[in-house]
A and B are shown apart, each in its own frame.
Chain A
Amino acid sequence: MTTISKVRYSRRSLLKSGGAAVAAAALPAPMVWGQETKNITLRQFGTGVSNLNDVATKVKEDLGFTLEMTALDSDSVTQRAATQPDSFDIADIEYWICKKVWPTGNLQAMDTSKIANYDKIVGIFRDGKLTPESTIAQGTAPHTVGFTSGVNDTDFVNEESGWMTLIPTIYNADTLGIRPDLIGRPISNWSELLNPEFKGKASILDISSIGIMDMAMVVESMGEYTYPDKGNMTKEEIDLTLGIFTEAKKNGQFRAFWKSFDESVNLMASGEVVIQSMWSPAITAVRSQGIPCVYQPLEEGYRSWGGGIGLSASLSGMELDAAYEYINWYLSGWVGGFLMRQGYYSAVPETSKDYMSADEWGFWFEGKEAQGDITNPFGQVMEKAGATRDGGSFYDRMGAVACWNAVMDENQYMVRKWNEFIAS
């Protein structure tokens, strides 16, 4: 698969044998390979959240090589990563997908010593703790599937082994989205999703591994059951959870289920639904149409998710070097700032700070009141002066995570039952 040309080989060996090793080390690799990198194309695929063409454009500008992006929904991403290892070089996937895909051996581990900002990556992705006092939330917490024992290994290890499965890039804390204008009273619990008051006006997402976690939050909040571990339910717990929701479905609680981002936006913006599971940028998309929509912080806490980039096992030679370069660039701040100005968090927040204005940093990260208009990277005004972020600062939001998106031991059973829930 490698495309290193003979010319480059000879130049490299010349440099080495010619005693110019010092010079070679002093020159950053991309300079030496300047012309060659231009011909490299890395194929990245992943969910829509971070597969943005702006990133590809900037990569071309800063690093010189071409990044081809393909955006798919979570299920298709899993499917592709698990079944078509040669169709991609870089997989931009979520940690729960990683738990499913990693054992197939389609991805290779990354050497953390080659990651310049590794030490600055937030604790959540390393030892699992946001701050030393934090407790680790239930579910597939990123650090539990973040490390493996060696480059070609397919296991997960608990300690920071020096080999990362995914380099964390983007994450957020999710909660319910509401239409405050149509609800007209404060909402502070997950249980409101099944409140008969919103009969025919509620929605939940039809992606089993995420939806089941939202359901678990609701069931616990209703006081029906307290799970020992929401992220790893037993068959009985799965039956119980889906039983409660099947009954609600039969009673006409739900207007629709959604699977893609734009469906959730349309449901909310058209007023078909007033309360539903939602993703942060979908809230923004509704609000930018001039329709009030709140990403409501709830007492029970957030359901969180994290994504990262993994390398295809077939990546080698110059492409592999380029991929490392891309990862280092990813963590160096520009992308972080780009994502944080849309309401996500970057794995290395401190590097992103340089790419955001003080006001933006204050609003998005510190939960402070906006001093002027807050615009997203595309120039749209997201919030006016005086607004504060729903849920507050980074530490308020990420510190209140109750569970992570998860894949359970009984996943197959859950999937079948989920299928029945949708079909019933």
Chain B
Amino acid sequence: MRNHSIIGWLLATPLTLVLLVFLVAPILMIVTVSFWGATEWSIYPAFQFDNYEFLLGSNVTYRVFFNTFKYALITWAFTLLIGFTVAYYLAFHIRSQTWQIALFLLCTIPFLTSNIIRMISWIPFLGRNGIANSTLMSMGVIDEPLEWLLFSDFSVILAFVHLYTLFMVVPIFNTMMRIDKSLIEAAADNGATGWQTQWHVIVPLTKPGIMIGTIFVVALVMGDFITVRFMSGSQSANVGRMIQNDIALLQYPSASATAVILLITVLLLIGTLLRFVDIRKEL
């Protein structure tokens, strides 16, 4: 018995050490630094609430957090809609497993190129004299180029959806593949319509996948800064941009304070999400 517990402790040690060094220690460091002070070129140890005071006292912070949530929510809705549809098609409409795998791999092909490239290629496409505008104009749909196509919330969300939909497709597809097909037959036998089967059988059984996808997408969008910077032409900001600006200007304590607040917000959000679905139980 004693031997067993020692072996158990030993087995747990490597992971514990890794987590301590690479997760707990950096977070503690960030929390500590968030109370420090900064000059233009250095940071000095202190225990002051200046950074939080400035952060929480500025209404820009609230607007930026609101913006971050807005991006996360809209992106989540679109990626879920598209992700669910794609996964559903792959899981239930494609009969042969070979084709399922082939088409699934096809979905991942764009991910073999760089994230940044995929994002930036939207810029010439959406620009004032870009392909989208010139096509629409030559088709006679519009007379003036549409300004809101680029450097707007539209382009930011478009890029997010483009970049992150796969993170929704994969977990949903995965859970859908595990649904026992006989359940669907049973629903049909009991006279359920297609929509009823969808809503009362497939969606509830897919919840864990949706939840995992949601966590991926929300965490990615909330932590992003580069997409917002490029696609909004630096005109919009989310929390990540705020942190990036601070770091660029050597304001590490202020960046840390923002990071701490963001971390707390995201943890609360994911905590709430996990209340709805017990991922462990359903996996």
Chain B residues whose C-beta falls within 8 Å of the C-beta of A424 in the assembled complex: 60, 63, 237
Question: Beyond A271-B128, A423-B63, is A100–B237 a contact (Cβ under 8 Å)?
Answer: no
Q: Which of A138-146, A183-191, A249-257 binds B? A: A249-257
Nearest-Cβ distance from residue A381 to partner chain B, whole angstroms: 25
> Quick check: is A78 within 8 A (CB to CB) of the other chain?
yes
> Quick check: is B242 within 8 A (CB to CB) of the other chain?
yes
Question: Beyond A200-B147, A258-B234, A415-B249, is A423–B241 a contact (Cβ under 8 Å)?
Answer: yes
Question: Beyond A255-B151, A258-B234, is A79–B246 a contact (Cβ under 8 Å)?
Answer: no
> Quick check: is B40 within 8 A (CB to CB) of the other chain?
yes
> Quick check: is B45 within 8 A (CB to CB) of the other chain?
no
Contact assessment for B235 and A257 in the assembled complex, using a CB-CB cutoff below 8 Å:
yes
- For residue A258, which residue of chain B has the nearest CB? B234
Chain A residues whose C-beta falls within 8 Å of the C-beta of B38 in the assembled complex: 412
A82 is contacted by which of B58, B147, B250, B251 (Cβ under 8 Å)?
Answer: B250
Nearest-Cβ distance from residue A244 to partner chain B, whole angstroms: 17
B237 is contacted by which of A79, A266, A422 (Cβ under 8 Å)?
Answer: A422
Contact assessment for A422 and B245 in the assembled complex, using a CB-CB cutoff below 8 Å:
yes
Contact assessment for A82 and B41 in the assembled complex, using a CB-CB cutoff below 8 Å:
yes
CA–CA, A25 and B147, complex, Å: 69
Nearest-Cβ distance from residue B35 to partner chain A, whole angstroms: 17
Number of interface residues of B (CB under 8 A): 33
Question: Beyond A257-B234, A270-B129, is A104–B245 a contact (Cβ under 8 Å)?
Answer: no
Nearest-Cβ distance from residue A245 to partner chain B, whole angstroms: 12
Contact assessment for B242 and A104 in the assembled complex, using a CB-CB cutoff below 8 Å:
no
Contact assessment for A208 and B249 in the assembled complex, using a CB-CB cutoff below 8 Å:
yes
- For residue B245, which residue of chain A has the nearest CB? A419
- For residue B60, which residue of chain A has the nearest CB? A420
Number of interface residues of A (CB under 8 A): 36
> Quick check: is B150 within 8 A (CB to CB) of the other chain?
yes
Contact assessment for A75 and B128 in the assembled complex, using a CB-CB cutoff below 8 Å:
no
CA–CA, A76 and B247, complex, Å: 9
> Quick check: is A272 within 8 A (CB to CB) of the other chain?
yes
Contact assessment for A256 and B147 in the assembled complex, using a CB-CB cutoff below 8 Å:
no
Q: Residue-by-residue, is A338-373 near B (CB-CB < 8 Å gives 1, otherwise 0)?
A: 000000000000000000000000000000000000
CA–CA, A415 and B60, complex, Å: 14
Q: Residue-by-residue, is A392-412 near B (CB-CB < 8 Å gives 1, otherwise 0)?
A: 000000000000000100011
Q: Residue-by-residue, is B11-54 near A (CB-CB < 8 Å gives 1, otherwise 0)?
A: 00000000000000000000000000011111000000000001
CA–CA, A403 and B130, complex, Å: 38
Question: Beyond A271-B128, A422-B241, A423-B64, is A76–B235 a contact (Cβ under 8 Å)?
Answer: no
Nearest-Cβ distance from residue B68 to partner chain A, whole angstroms: 11
> Quick check: is A416 within 8 A (CB to CB) of the other chain?
yes
CA–CA, A103 and B39, complex, Å: 11
Question: Beyond A103-B41, A272-B128, is A420–B147 a contact (Cβ under 8 Å)?
Answer: no
Contact assessment for A101 and B41 in the assembled complex, using a CB-CB cutoff below 8 Å:
yes
> Quick check: is B204 within 8 A (CB to CB) of the other chain?
no
> Quick check: is B110 within 8 A (CB to CB) of the other chain?
no
- For residue B54, which residue of chain A has the nearest CB? A416
- For residue A204, which residue of chain B has the nearest CB? B234
- For residue A414, which residue of chain B has the nearest CB? B249
Nearest-Cβ distance from residue B235 to partner chain A, whole angstroms: 6
Q: Residue-by-residue, is A183-215 near B (CB-CB < 8 Å gives 1, otherwise 0)?
A: 000000000000000001001001010000000
- For residue A106, which residue of chain B has the nearest CB? B41
Chain A residues whose C-beta falls within 8 Å of the C-beta of B254 in the assembled complex: 416
> Quick check: is B248 within 8 A (CB to CB) of the other chain?
yes
Nearest-Cβ distance from residue B136 to partner chain A, whole angstroms: 17
Chain B residues whose C-beta falls within 8 Å of the C-beta of A203 in the assembled complex: 233
Nearest-Cβ distance from residue B153 to partner chain A, whole angstroms: 13
Chain A residues whose C-beta falls within 8 Å of the C-beta of B246 in the assembled complex: 419
CA–CA, A122 and B234, complex, Å: 38
CA–CA, A256 and B232, complex, Å: 7
CA–CA, A266 and B58, complex, Å: 34
> Quick check: is A259 within 8 A (CB to CB) of the other chain?
yes
Contact assessment for A270 and B124 in the assembled complex, using a CB-CB cutoff below 8 Å:
yes
Contact assessment for B234 and A79 in the assembled complex, using a CB-CB cutoff below 8 Å:
no
Q: Residue-by-residue, is A61-96 near B (CB-CB < 8 Å gives 1, otherwise 0)?
A: 000000000000001101100110000000000000
| CB pairs A–B below 8 angstroms (14 shown) | A78-B41, A78-B250, A79-B250, A103-B41, A104-B42, A208-B249, A259-B234, A270-B124, A271-B129, A272-B128, A272-B150, A419-B246, A423-B60, A423-B64
- Among all A-B residue pairs, the 5 with the closest Cβ atoms: A256-B233, A423-B237, A257-B234, A75-B248, A82-B41
**Apart from A419-B246, A422-B245, 5 more pairs, CB < 8 Å:** A82-B42, A83-B41, A254-B235, A270-B124, A272-B151
